[in-house]
Amino acid sequence: DQQVKQNSPSLSVQEGRISILNCDYTNSMFDYFLWYKKYPAEGPTFLISISSIKDKNEDGRFTVFLNKSAKHLSLHIVPSQPGDSAVYFCAAQQDSYGKLTFGQGTILTVHP
């Protein structure tokens, strides 16, 4: 049972444009959501998070939006840069415990 889903395996964007990565979840008990970026041969790196009591969190070029009624969150990267090319994972937590439930990941490619 895939509780966190990233339905787009890949996304290609031109440098300077907006990248929008999407994530859907099924477990209404999730109360904290995170985005991670992963380069090959490295562990995931934390990007940004959002609590279920908020609907938006912004950090520089990265903004995460949460729509609880739709059980959907998205990560916006503006402007996109070639160095943003990586695999992006969304993750969710329940009851504030350490376990993270990850989506399958989306490969983002930003073309110069």
**Binding residues for other proteins (CB under 8 A):** 31-32, 34, 36, 41-46, 49, 89, 91, 93, 96-105
Given the complex with other proteins, which of 79 and 101 has the nearer CB atom? 101
CA–CA gap between residue 67 and residue 7 (Å, rounded) = 17
Kindly tell me the sign of the dihedral angle through the C-alpha atoms of 40, 61, 108, 82: negative
CB of 26 to other proteins, least distance (A): 15
Kindly tell me the sign of the dihedral angle through the C-alpha atoms of 15, 20, 23, 29: positive
CB of 38 to other proteins, least distance (A): 8
CB of 14 to other proteins, least distance (A): 27
Given the complex with other proteins, which of 70 and 97 has the nearer CB atom? 97
Given the complex with other proteins, which of 49 and 79 has the nearer CB atom? 49
Given the complex with other proteins, which of 41 and 70 has the nearer CB atom? 41
Strand partners, 56: 65
